[in-house]
Structure 1
Amino acid sequence: MSSTAGGDARPGQPEDPCKAREVLGIVGDKWSLLIVRNLSQGPRRFTELKRAVDGISQRMLTVTLRGLERDGILTRTVRNVMPPHVSYELTPMGMTLREAAAPLLEWSIAHLTHIDTARAAYDARPDTPST
C-alpha cells in the first residue's frame, strides 16, 4: 500500500484499502447476512426475523439489527398503532449487499454437507491436535 510520508492516500486513490475490514466487520459476523437474506423478500417484523433466523437470541437479533441500521443497510419503521408495529427493510445499499452476498450464501448451502464430512474426518484423525 503506497501512501505519502504523512499517511495520506495518493490523489484519486481510496483513503485506505484496508478499511475494507470495516465492511467485513459489518457483514462478517454470524448473523448479518442471514438477516439481509431474510429482508430481501421484503419488510419483516422483529418476531418474523426471530423465527426465520434459526438459533439467534432476541438480544443478538436486536444488536445486529441496530448495527445494520447504523451502517445504512436497513431501515427501521415504527407505526404508531396499538400495539406499536416495528418493521425492518433493506435500503437500496442493503439490496446491493444481498446481491453481492447471494453467491456466498448459495455456495455455503451447496457445500455444507461436504464441510460437515471434512470436519468429521479431520476430527477423527488420531493426530488431530486438541484445542
Structure 2
Amino acid sequence: MPHSHTGVPGAVMDEACPVTEVLDHVSGKWSIGILIAAAHGPVRFTELERTINGISRRMLTLNLRRLERDGLLVRTVYPTVPPKVEYSLTLMARELYASLTGLVGWAERHRSAVSQARVAYDAAAEQGSDAVW
C-alpha cells in the first residue's frame, strides 16, 4: 500500500481528508456561532448578522452556504415581498450542537486555567528557560 509523506497509508489519508474537511468547516469561528445561534429554532439572516459579533454579510453568506452544503442547515425561502429566508439545524447538526455545548462549557470552565498557563509559559520563555521546550 503506498504511503504518504506522513507515513500514513494512502487509503487512510484518502478517508481522513473528508473528515478533516468537515471538522475544519464545523470548527471555524463563524460556523460555531451560526450553529449555536440557529439551535433554538429557525433564524433569519438579519438575526444571525446581529447575533454574531464581527461577521460581515459576505462571510455570513459564505458560511451559511457551506453549512447548508454540508447538510447541517436547511434554508427555507418564503414567497413574501421581500422574501423571508430562515435557517434551521438539521438532525445531524442537532447532534453536533450537543457536542459543541459540551466544548463551550469546557472552555468556560477552564478559561482562567488556560490564561494562567499562558502567562506562566510566556514568563518562562522570556527567561530563556529550557523547561518550556
User: What TM-score, normalized to structure 1?
Assistant: 0.75
Q: Point out the more displaced range, 95-104 or 106-115.
A: 106-115
Change (3 A) 1:8 1:115: closer
1:105 aligns with 2:108: no
Cα drift, residue 102 of structure 1: 1.9
Report the alpha carbon displacement of residue 17 of structure 1 after superposing the two structures with TM: 4.3
State the alpha-carbon separation in 1 of the partners of residues 11 and 113 from structure 2.
45
**Percent of counterpart pairs with the same letter?**
45
Return the offset for 1:44. Answer: 0.4
Match of 2:52 in 1: 53
69-78 vs 25-34, which moves further = 25-34
Q: CA deviation at 1:30?
A: 1.4
Matches within 5 A, 1:1-131: 16-17=15-16, 19-124=18-123, 126-127=126-127
CA deviation map 1:64-111 (0-9, x unaligned): 111000000001111121221111000111111112222111111222
Cα separation, 2, equivalents of 1:18 and 1:84 = 37
Local SS of the residue matching 1:77 = strand
Match of 1:16, SS state, is: helix
Structure 1 residues 42 and 113, CA gap change in structure 2 (3 angstroms): same
**Unaligned residue ranges in structure 1 (runs of 5+):** 10-14
Question: CA separation in 2, counterparts of 1:114 and 1:60?
Answer: 32
**Deviation at residue 8 of structure 1 after TM alignment:** 5.9
SS at the partner of 1:67? helix
2:11 & 2:116 partners in 1: Cα distance?
Answer: 48
Structure 2 distance, partners of 1:102, 1:42, is 16
C-alpha deviations, 1:24-65, integer Å up to 9, x for none? 122121111221111110010111111111222222111111
Kindly state the Cα deviation for residue 22 of structure 1 after the two structures are TM-superposed: 2.1
Instruction: Measure the CA separation in 2 of the matches of 1:55 and 1:110.
Output: 24
In the superposition, the TM-score normalised over structure 2's length comes to: 0.74
SS of structure 1 residue aligned to 2:87: strand
**5+ long unaligned stretches in structure 2:** 3-9, 129-133
